[in-house]
Amino acid sequence: MAGYNIASLARLVEQFERMPGIGHKSAQRLAFHVLAMSDAQAKQFAETILAAHDNIKQCERCCNLSEEALCPICKNDARDKSVICVVEDPRDVMAFERTHEFDGTYHVLHGVISPMNGVGPEDITIKELLARLSDGTVQEVIMATNPTVEGERGGRSDGDVYFAAFKADGHHGQPACLRCAGRRRSRVC
């Protein structure tokens, strides 16, 4: 018995399966949803994906996502430029911003150091962070990497790199650790 296969549908399912957290059944549901769209809706969906891919880039200062050279946070004069919260991913910035509690700036690493996965310091935005530290504006660095094995390992390794640069630039004291919430100062807990 010959198999039932529609090549275009199979390719659409494969594309959805490439997305993180999307398995085969979810990819099929998404593909059938797209097929059920009107031509205008499908066209708008495709154009929105292409426009986001073309227009969104990294902020020149903090490496967060932005449609302009500087993201809205870096352009905001009301933000405390002397404090940088270092995060792994742009989604972390969004989570912090939803709290409306942090008034400093961010630096997005776009990953963590993971030698097991072949990710070294050159593969994330450490150089860009070190460049930001060199102008003397930054007085406090908050390491807010995720509490995973890689995040902890990355935080320690990244923290050592940042701490060395922080001291080399003549800063006194120590960058704050987010998990300590200001109770004590340490570079890594």
Q: What is the pTM of this model?
A: 0.73
- Could you report the per-residue pLDDT of 3-62, keeping only the tens digit for each? 678 999 999 999 999 999 999 999 999 999 999 999 999 999 999 999 999 999 999 999
The CATH code that applies to domain 79-180 is 3.40.1360.10
The domains of the chain are located at 7-55, 79-180
- Could you report the per-residue pLDDT of 155-170, keeping only the tens digit for each? 455 455 544 444 444 4
Q: How many CA atoms lie within 13 A of 103 on its CB side?
A: 4
Type of residue at 160: D
Task: Band the pLDDT of 74: cuts 50, 70, 90.
Answer: very high
> What letter would DSSP give residue 89?
S
Beta-carbon count within 10 A of 27 CB = 18
Type of residue at 103: D
Beta bridge partners of 106: 85
Fold of 7-55: Helicase, Ruva Protein; domain 3 (1.10.8)
